[in-house]
Amino acid sequence: TPPAERYEYQAEVSRLMDLIVNSLYSNKEVFLRELISNASDALDKLRFLSVTQPDLLKGAVDLDIRIQTDKENGIVTITDTGIGMTQQELVDCLGTIAQSGTAKFLKALKDSKEVGGDNNLIGQFGVGFYSAFLVCDRVVVSTKSPKSDKQYVWEGEANASSYTIREETDPEKLLPRGTRLTLHLKRDDKGFAHPERIQKLVKNYSQFVSFPIYTWQEKGFTKEVEVDEDPAETKKDGQNEQSEKKKKTKTVVEKYWDWELTNETQPIWLRNPKEVTTEEYNEFYKKTFNEYLDPLASSHFTTEGEVEFRSILYVPAIAPMGKDDIVNPKTKNIRLYVKRVFISDDFDGELFPRYLSFVKGVVDSNDLPLNVSREILQESRIVRIMRKRLVRKAFDMILGISMSENKDDYDRFWENFGKHLKLGCIEDRENHKRIAPLLRFLSSQSVDELISLDEYVENMKPEQKDIYYMAADSVTSARNTPFLERLLEKDLEVLFLVDPIDEVAIQNLKAYKEKNFVDISKEDLDLGDKNEEKDKEIKQEFGQTCDWIKKHLGDKVASVQISNRLSSSPCVLVSGKFGWSANMERLMKAQTA
Ligand code: ADP
Ligand code: MG
């Protein structure tokens, strides 16, 4: 037989293993969730490919995961009939790690110290496999890919800088397809090799895996067996020797071992919403999307008619790390299934507009072909209809949060995802009427608490026609602007747009409930209180002063005019009617700097 070859781990892997072992020791049992999730991924991949290549299923039709324990020797084996790995894939997948992943993981670990919870980080950063070394001295991965006619064995030890790969030659150990992990537990962790312990962990961590997980369990049944009567006793009872010689029976327990189905495989979205508890929805969310906080809201629905699909959508409690890239298209936020087969979570706006990419969920359709490709997704009429419905449901869900009795919920939503909705004002004209009621701003009359546009409209003066706003870089500068003076005097409310994106968003909306948004810093602001007589008088009195100022400032200003917009300040610089506002100008400058 060919000898085992030794390979060095990529430096990042060694570092990562150190980290995992030293940082995540407090919740070792997550290793099982990670390894089961890898098995489930491998089965998903195989099932997906087998749609177009049914031959792949040859040799082992059943797609399942089997976990066996050996208490005496402290060994757990996890076997799946998934896609397996070729020799090269073993090197690529279990010996290297994308550097960016490590970097992100490191950062997240640091950040999590503040948030308080690092248990779910392993899975989020694609380092799941190495969590085996939380509990193992030695891990053996024997695997057979349909792409190769040979089966290979990867072997690694905790705290080692290298691993080996050899060909599997023991005919007893050959697999039809898939992967078997043999976990040699550390002395102190041998407790994981108890069948009841494993069963409990599987139930706890993998109730939403959509493939059957079997665990090897000891079973027993009782049976009545005939026993011979004790001859001594018969003698004592001498008299009725003949009639008493009845047959006696005894109950015994017969023990044997067998596979036991340990998880529930009916996907939660196929169940009747009335029968699913909030806890179940939340658990499903956390396990599917590697989240550690409950979602803010969820929505489970079925659509019928033209296109049929089932879906569960969620609004997360907080924005993902690296908040800046709010439109990161690669968020894997939507998991698409066709007839329960997982198809993809790698979308770029096909199923959800990018600005809503914070919404997470699963979508299962019977109307799409199983071999649906990117191109089909982009052109499909069905997908367009699905997208429309999903977006509506997402807005309904967000509106629900805004109407919740617990006001904190929406505050929290807005803090995390307000920017996304503002982006929606710019990108999604079609949904303006759904987005606008969800927007929140500070105002001249509410500098600490955000108000909605509805609240603004409610508070408008009877003769007031427009919605006034002032864009500035902070509430303080908005409050101190001279433009505000006359509006304050008249008790007119002014929205303070202090987030850089606010002004562009508002300009895209143009109006709300047929009331135009009006920038109070623009030249032609009309507060509906013109007094022509008085204007004439003032013009005569100050006309020359204006000319004099214009002469001295020259090209620095477009014109110098008399205005009735100020009450206590003597003068103010304003933007022309068709020019950029001062705020926009500041933004443009910042961008070109
Ligand atoms: P992730 O699952 O996030 O990709 P892991 O560290 O858990 O990261 O796994 C690394 C890779 O190893 C997987 O992406 C997959 O390609 C491969 N792998 C792990 N376990 C299995 C398995 N049971 N069957 C096939 N491939 C596997
Ligand atoms: Mg994994």
CA distance 93 to 91: 6
Residue 419: exposure state from Cβ atoms within 10 A (0-12, 13-18, ≥19): buried
- Closest approach atom of ligand 1 to CA 94: 12
How far CA 307 is from CA of 117, 255, 350, 396, in Å, comes to 41, 52, 16, 19
Any atom of ligand 1 within 6 Å of the Cβ of 145: no
Q: What integer pLDDT is reported at residue 591 of this predicted model?
A: 60
Spatial CB neighbours of 512, under 8 Å, sequence gap ≥ 6: 436, 453, 457, 467
Any atom of ligand 1 within 6 Å of the Cβ of 82: yes
Residue nearest to atom 10 of ligand 1 (CA): 93
Q: Are 219 and 70 in contact (CB under 8 A)?
A: no
pTM of the model: 0.68
Spatial CB neighbours of 234, under 8 Å, sequence gap ≥ 6: 241, 244, 245
How remote is the CA of residue 202 from the centroid of ligand 1, in Å? 19
Tell me the ligand closest to 126's alpha carbon: 1
How remote is the CA of residue 378 from the centroid of ligand 1, in Å? 29
- Closest approach atom of ligand 1 to CA 178: 24
Q: What integer pLDDT is reported at residue 123 of this predicted model?
A: 52
Q: What integer pLDDT is reported at residue 125 of this predicted model?
A: 57
* Mean pLDDT, the chain cut into blocks of 10 residues (593 residues total): 89 79 75 90 91 87 94 97 96 76 62 53 64 94 96 94 95 96 97 95 81 94 83 55 68 92 89 94 89 93 91 93 56 86 83 92 88 77 93 97 93 95 95 97 95 97 94 92 89 94 94 95 75 79 86 85 73 70 68 54
Any atom of ligand 1 within 6 Å of the Cβ of 179: yes
CA distance 35 to 41: 10
CA distance 460 to 475: 21
Q: Is 339 left (phi over 0), alpha (psi -120 to 50) or beta?
A: left
How far CA 84 is from CA of 33, 39, 292, in Å, comes to 18, 9, 30
Residue nearest to atom 12 of ligand 1 (CA): 93
Q: What integer pLDDT is reported at residue 335 of this predicted model?
A: 92
Residue nearest to atom 9 of ligand 1 (CA): 129
ipTM of the complex: 0.99
Q: Candidates 12, 16, 35, 38: which one to mutate for ligand 1, based on the most atoms within 8 Å of Cβ?
A: 38
How remote is the CA of residue 72 from the centroid of ligand 1, in Å? 29
Q: Are 352 and 334 in contact (CB under 8 A)?
A: yes
Tell me the ligand closest to 102's alpha carbon: 1
CA distance 58 to 236: 68
Any atom of ligand 1 within 6 Å of the Cβ of 39: yes
Q: Report how far Cα 263 is from the mean position of its chain's Cα atoms.
A: 23
Any atom of ligand 1 within 6 Å of the Cβ of 93: yes
How remote is the CA of residue 38 from the centroid of ligand 1, in Å? 5
How remote is the CA of residue 96 from the centroid of ligand 1, in Å? 11
